[in-house]
Amino acid sequence: MFDSDEPKISGKEYHIACGPGDVAHYVILPGDPDRTPKISSYWDAVTFKASHREYVTHTGKYKGKDISCTSTGIGGPSLSIAVEELFRIGARTFIRVGTTGAIQEQINVGDLIISSGAVRLDGASKAYVRQEYPAFADLEVTFALIEAAEGLGLPYHVGVTASTDSFYAGQGRPGFNGYDQSWMATLIPDLKKAGVLNFEMESATLFTLTRLYGGRAGAITAVIAQRETGQFKADAGLEGAIRVGNEAVRILSEWDALKERKKKKYVYPSLFSQV
């Protein structure tokens, strides 16, 4: 059965090839499909669910908590497809785990960046809502990522990320044969002055869609490139980002259970001390 408005094949979502019951409420979103098995290797139990195009999904248990991981491919457009279809089969909490390039001098290769919000330099989020709408991470997910990073003793920074659909020109890199435009020369200096920490390609789309659809999302990325110094080390800090993402799911699951017991909608500091 194929419906052009909400395409499905044999009851499964067309792109991610998953259906109801295949994914948990909490889903980790790496870009690279090869990172799905890396993330799920830390779990207590893993079930392979699907592999179609760039979308590879595993579901299982991490420290007794239900968890899933779906890769999204590169950039906001492919991530938006994954998020759309994951929402339709029950996912509501999303954590992007990936890599990034830092543009502030104090950030080292191998450090982690927790994105509190994103500059919407992408195109995908603009298909959903006007440009003035903010792309910001969920507070509880952000705090869970911070707590996880602190608990693991890993170096991290919290701040605003710039998300773009283009790895080259959109991040101020010259194109083929040195192609450039005048605005590219001022892109990084302007973002630096505004306090933006890093470039990546998915968070703005993720934050925008989850906010519009009533879900929640956060993002943690490992710094593999330092644009100011020219340093680059593939996968530097990635293991740490994976560990933080998994731990944040455990923390959020415990906080959600606490909220349910206390009949509260939000987590707040004194809630933890209430008898």
In a domain, 117, yes or no: yes
Q: How far is CA 224 from the centre of its chain?
A: 16
261 is catalytic: no
In a domain, 273, yes or no: no
Say what the pLDDT of residue 255 is: 98
Rounded to whole angstroms, how far apart are CA atoms 6 and 160? 34
pLDDT band at 260 (very low <50, low <70, confident <90, very high): very high
- Which listed residue (15, 35, 120, 211) is catalytic? 15
pLDDT band at 6 (very low <50, low <70, confident <90, very high): confident
pTM, rounded to two decimals: 0.96
- Which listed residue (25, 173, 250, 254) is catalytic? 173
Q: How far is CA 65 from the centre of its chain?
A: 19
15 is catalytic: yes
Tally the residues of the chain.
Answer: 275
In a domain, 268, yes or no: no
Residue 29's domain spans which residues? 8-263
Say what the pLDDT of residue 80 is: 98
CB atoms within 10 A of CB 34: 10
Say what the pLDDT of residue 5 is: 78
- Which listed residue (13, 54, 85, 202) is catalytic? 85
Rounded to whole angstroms, how far apart are CA atoms 34 and 275? 44
In a domain, 271, yes or no: no
Q: How does pLDDT run across 202-259, given as a tens digit for each residue?
A: 999 999 999 999 999 999 999 999 999 999 999 999 999 999 999 999 999 999 999 9
140 is catalytic: no
In a domain, 89, yes or no: yes
In a domain, 143, yes or no: yes
CATH of the domain at 22: 3.40.50.1580
Q: How does pLDDT run across 135-193, given as a tens digit for each residue?
A: 999 999 999 999 999 999 999 999 999 999 999 999 999 999 999 999 999 999 999 99
pLDDT band at 3 (very low <50, low <70, confident <90, very high): low
In a domain, 270, yes or no: no
Say what the pLDDT of residue 274 is: 77
- Which listed residue (58, 120, 227, 243) is catalytic? 227
In a domain, 171, yes or no: yes
Tokens matching residue 172: 């101020």
How many separate domains does the chain show?
1
